[in-house]
A and B are shown apart, each in its own frame.
Chain A
């Protein structure tokens, strides 16, 4: 057994049931614990009071426009991958009041609402989503202006990451260098074995949270076995061999992708995809990095009390590019082109990284199954 606080980089082994101890420990110190659970046929993130809520024994079958959960005897506690929700739903909420104004004695007074509620601890964050978090950090925290609302949540966030053992057919994190192994940025990272979890400590905060969880230090062999789990999966993903009766796994060739997309703004494929795309904006809503928003005015009839409300917005609307001279991108073609070229190309100029982590949500949650990997391959001129 270990004793005292674990240092950064330590690997320990815990019985599976001890995940509940960790959860309770986080709750005790004041975290609101969030984790995966099944709702309406999908794995979503919501308040997790107990590990009994986890979708143990479930896997998700994902394909373009398709998501189904299945019970699988060989599945462990975390063998489903990502559902429609991501950390974005919590750190950059879909609706949020960013300013409150009141008219007092004929003059406006404004206040910045405090970010309410306890700090968040999220259990089950995958490699792709951890990278998406870092990408949103660049947008909201590392530019010339810092968003105080995101910052308040982000700085207090506790991340319990999970190394994936299984990929859905829509996953292509291996192509984007965003997974399946989790990269630094977690407080704790779990790797699931048949009878236990190996826990890697990523921060002092993580080490402290493990103080009361009964754990044994891992042997060198154990650590190696744990590290091999995501490596093994990555090899499988590169091989693109479908599971029995399951869809073909994806990949995305990122070679020279910025030049490829920005150099092909007149490619006929944009017309082709515009025929299929509904501009419903589901892809942008489920994307864990998409950050567009609109601030609108919520008022009473007398306009003496005003809330400035920020809501998720999407480049798949005319409102998004509205100017007094007209809508800049009125057509589905121009909107899809904006989304794809931003996500995979101009994002690199803006934030020094791709805007895509290969989580595959945009493929799965597109009602007509438009596939970002397929669209890029078509522009590259590959047979698809």
Chain B
């Protein structure tokens, strides 16, 4: 936690901030979803309330808060009320385990009449060193919120939705986990910081039959080492987040609203936050593994620090360090937003799969291809470092 009051307080505030980032990005994403879908379908979308329709979100929040909460007659209270809370936990915990910006170092400083520091802070809730294993483990608990909601509602549509959801999540988790094995073999580590550090630097450098080659105009990103794995990971993450084209758990044409049929008001909002939280985690993992994390392509990390300290933005080195980290955080957020936009784009482009198509895609297409990707990466790694 920390060695003195300052560090403990900063770490606690950091956890809270990461949770709030997740929660506060949801209205913006909802707004984006409406506006982008309207743009794609040649409509206007909500544009009456406030500039660009942004105040509409506030009206929505008020509506969610003031709706009457209700409880199904034969429902199970523990599960019915527990499910929305359970929906928030995995997303928030997983997001807290991903580095959102470069770690920064604070020199010793005087504040409130005593000496503090030096400190090292990470732009991340917690770091156990095995990064991705914990993220996958925590986010795999997301299925329980759907199962609890489906069972606790005591409604056939809810139950069917929950069963579909859990079958789908378990099936696609395999492909999701296996698709990451390739990139983990390339980087040879579990730690997010090591993975990002290996993707920093400008020319794309790789070994081929023992000789070092480089392509000068490409950044050193994971996607160039493992494009197939990236594709499978991104597709499987759609199924994990229950988004279209994989939103069979809440197929409204067949199941009313699936597992959250019996929910309304704030509880429903919490399910939405959980879903968007999963999207953010998937996008953040995509950015971290395949697109260089918080680093900026074509710009060295040191030159950002130099630019901040020499440009007169911050005079004190501590503020400069913090500001540098903040710039990296914004870069990371930009990358995450690009992937979130792709999520929205796909949702409004592709139709929903049929259930047997979904299972076929998961078990007969993605899983074999993910296995093939693992084997291919292993063979490639074995040969590329060996001279002919």
A binds B: no
Interface residues of A (CB under 8 A from B): none
